[in-house]
């Protein structure tokens, strides 16, 4: 049995009027049922609560609000409608679903992480398909992190999934923006991320969603560091979930997993926490940190760019300006030269060699 996490974005779930497209959900539900019949455990991460709430109040997609409080209110209005469509679609295949609302800090605090993992494990044991969304009615995490993509990647690590499928409204990662370059072609596989791949991401994909390819590539990085294969594919493609699981040719863009993986806490530090500042280190500290298992000592810090408090995440850069690590500071920026250890090894993630 394989474990599959399926994430579908707002732009793929709604029509141009910003309304939930029941046909799309029913098609995905049918594919989920097929995976279930083949013996696989499936978890769905769904966006769309904000977009679903807008037409209920008569707000058109082009007039989508931008302030966090209104977006949170819209999410609370749209969430029941979104869940009902999913529940009805899955029920037609004799599948029961259970809703879970998560926020990024659920993955950073060990007790909450273990509770979430236990709940998801029990739901799968009971034959239930978990339906996950961010708890964005009381937190702005979805708005900041990018339409549930990071949450989906963290969930993939949580349930020890074999594959993460990110369903979107494009065929995958393209060599250029097809709206500008008609010769843009699909990148079938990404083994390592480089500057060129990062530049291809672009911004948010539609007025109805807050994600875009950048957030999907970030999610793919998280999954790769978890040892999970990611497939970015078009939600409109027939048999997309089955083909993604089996690695069918031309399915979309496949991001391969890394052989070296990170713990849940280090994934949280490396990818889910916003960096407050950047610490530039000397060559000795650079070499020591890259060798693994070392703490960042104050003696190795040559420059502090920005201000931060103890407990904030900070980037760590080489003398050439390349950010190669990230960690949680033990002290504030004003006290860096007063302590021995600035970032303990347990709170430090080296993301490039």
Instruction: Map out the domains of the chain as residue ranges.
Output: 3-265, 274-350
Nearest to 46 by CA among 112, 101, 4: 101
46 falls in which pLDDT band (50, 70, 90)? very high
Distance CA 56, CA 60 (A): 10
pLDDT of residue 135: 80
Alpha-carbon gap, residue 217 to 224, rounded angstroms = 10
Q: What's the sign of the alpha-carbon dihedral 101, 105, 106, 112? A: negative
> How many other CB atoms are found less than 10 A from the CB of residue 116?
20
| pLDDT at site 244 | 96
In this prediction, residue 180 has a pLDDT band, given cuts at 50, 70 and 90, of confident
**Range name among 130-139, 249-258, 283-292 with the lowest pLDDT average:** 130-139
Cα angle for residues 324, 317, 320 (degrees, 5° grid):
105
Q: 295 by DSSP, 3-state: which? A: coil
Are 6 and 167 in contact by the 8 Å Cβ rule? The answer is yes
Question: 319, 303, 316, 221: which is closest to 276 by C-alpha?
Answer: 316
pLDDT band at 143 (very low <50, low <70, confident <90, very high): very low
Per-residue pLDDT, averaged over 238-263, amounts to: 93
pLDDT at residue 323 above 80?
Answer: yes
Confidence band for 39, pLDDT divided at 50, 70 and 90: very high
DSSP code, position 284: H
**From CA 37, how far away is CA 22, in angstroms rounded?**
22
Pairing, β 313-317 against β 275-281: parallel
Query: What mean pLDDT is predicted for residues 297-304?
Result: 97
- Which pLDDT does position 92 carry in this prediction? 97
Q: Taking residues 291-314, report their average pLDDT.
A: 95
The β-bridge partners of 129 are 97
DSSP, res 259: S
Residue 37: predicted pLDDT: 95
Q: How confident is the model at residue 10 (pLDDT cuts 50, 70, 90)?
A: confident
Q: Which of 26, 71, 27, 30 is nearest to 52 (CA)?
A: 71
- Give the C-alpha separation, 308 to 314, whole Å: 8
Q: pLDDT digit string (tens) for 74-119?
A: 989 999 999 999 999 999 999 999 999 987 678 777 888 899 999 9
- Nearby residues of 326 by Cβ (< 8 Å), 6 or more positions away: 269, 270, 273, 275, 313, 314, 315, 316, 348, 349, 351
pTM of the model: 0.86
SS3 7: strand
Q: Look at 82-86, 115-119, 147-151, 303-307 and tell me which has the smallest mean pLDDT.
A: 147-151
Domain 3-265: CATH class, spelled out: alpha beta
Give the pLDDT confidence score for residue 285 in this predicted structure: 97
How big is the chain, counted in residues?
353
What pLDDT shows up at residue 146? 47
Cα separation, 137 vs 103, in Å, equals 10
More confident residue, 8 or 264: 8
Residue 188 backbone dihedrals phi, psi, to 5 degrees: -70, -35
- Say whether pLDDT at 311 is over 60: yes
274-350: which CATH number, 1.20.58.390, 3.30.70.580, 2.30.130.10, 2.60.40.1180?
Answer: 2.30.130.10
Q: Which of 143, 172, 179 is nearest to 71 (CA)?
A: 143
Q: Give buried/exposed letters for 29-50 (b at 16+ CB in 10 A, else e).
A: bebbbebbeeebbbbbbbbbbb
Q: What is the mean pLDDT of residues 162-189?
A: 87
pLDDT above 70 covers a percentage of the chain that reads: 93
Give tens-digit pLDDT for 188-240: 999 988 777 777 765 444 444 445 788 899 899 999 999 999 999 999 999 99
């Amino acid at each position: 049995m394989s474990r599959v996490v399926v994430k579908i974005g707002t732009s793929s779930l709604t029509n141009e009027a910003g309304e939930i497209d029941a046909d799309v959900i029913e098609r995905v539900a049918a594919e989920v049922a097929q995976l279930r019949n083949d013996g696989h455990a499936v978890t769905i991460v769904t966006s769309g609560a904000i977009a679903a709430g807008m037409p209920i109040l008569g707000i058109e997609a082009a007039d989508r609000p931008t302030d966090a409080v209104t977006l949170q209110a819209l999410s609370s209005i749209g969430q029941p409608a979104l869940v009902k469509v999913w529940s009805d679609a899955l029920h037609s295949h004799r599948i029961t679903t259970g809703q879970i609302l998560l926020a990024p800090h659920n993955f950073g605090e060990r007790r909450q992480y273990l509770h979430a993992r236990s709940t998801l494990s029990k739901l799968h044991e009971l034959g239930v398909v978990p339906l996950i969304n961010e708890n964005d009615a009381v937190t702005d995490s979805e708005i900041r992190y990018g339409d549930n993509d990071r949450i989906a990647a963290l969930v993939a690590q949580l349930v020890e999934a074999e594959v993460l499928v990110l369903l979107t409204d494009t065929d995958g990662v393209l060599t250029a923006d097809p709206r500008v370059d008609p010769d843009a072609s699909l990148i079938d596989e990404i083994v390592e991320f480089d500057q060129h791949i990062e530049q291809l991401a672009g911004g948010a994909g539609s007025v109805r969603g807050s994600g875009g390819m950048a957030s999907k590539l970030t999610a793919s990085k998280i999954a790769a560091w978890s040892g999970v294969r990611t497939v970015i594919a078009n939600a409109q493609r027939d048999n997309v979930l089955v083909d993604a699981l089996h690695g069918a040719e031309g399915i979309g863009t496949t991001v391969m997993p890394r052989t070296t993986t990170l713990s849940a806490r280090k994934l949280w530090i490396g990818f889910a926490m916003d960096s407050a500042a950047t610490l530039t280190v000397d060559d000795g500290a650079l070499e020591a940190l890259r060798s693994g298992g070392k703490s960042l000592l104050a003696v190795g810090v040559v420059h502090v760019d920005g201000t931060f408090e103890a407990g904030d995440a900070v980037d760590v850069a080489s003398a050439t300006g390349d950010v190669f690590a990230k960690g949680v500071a033990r002290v504030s920026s004003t006290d860096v030269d007063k302590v021995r250890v600035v970032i303990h090894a347990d709170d430090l993630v080296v993301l490039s060699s």
